[in-house]
């Protein structure tokens, strides 16, 4: 039983480390001031609706029904979220460059 718990926690730590940007654990030096401001504004929404909102994003991206998202492999779902988050940040940077 102890080995199962150790496996679970080791896996949990690896996922948290590998996908830290998804869970609000990015280093502040990696963010622009606009990104930090947007993050503060969205924190209330994300705390309240985070899981369903992310499931909805994955459903749109993967082109599956929302109830099918819960059946996806966790690595596939996390990779989709990581991609979407990076894509969104890249698009914001591009827009910022165009404004300047």
Whether 83 is covered by a domain: the verdict is yes
Per-residue pLDDT at 84: 94
pLDDT in tens, 79-96: 999 999 999 999 999 999
Whether 46 is covered by a domain: the verdict is yes
pLDDT in tens, 27-78: 555 556 655 565 556 667 777 788 888 999 999 999 999 999 999 999 999 9
Separation of alpha carbons 57 and 28, rounded Å: 25
- If one counts the domains in the chain, the total is 1
Whether 2 is covered by a domain: the verdict is no
- For residue 95, count other CB atoms closer than 10 A to its CB: 10
Which residues fall within 8 angstroms of residue 77, CB to CB, at 6 or more apart?
58, 69
Q: How confident is the model at residue 21 (pLDDT cuts 50, 70, 90)?
A: confident
């Amino acid at each position: 039983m102890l080995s199962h718990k150790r496996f679970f926690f080791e896996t949990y730590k690896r996922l948290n480390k590998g996908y830290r940007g998804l869970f609000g654990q990015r280093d502040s030096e990696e963010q622009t001031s606009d990104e930090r401001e947007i993050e503060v504004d969205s924190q209330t929404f994300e705390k309240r609706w985070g899981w369903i909102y992310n499931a909805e994003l994955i459903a749109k991206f993967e082109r599956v029904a929302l109830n099918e998202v819960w059946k996806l492999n966790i690595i596939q779902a996390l990779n989709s979220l990581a991609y979407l988050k990076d894509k969104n940040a890249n698009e914001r940077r591009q827009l910022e460059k165009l404004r300047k």
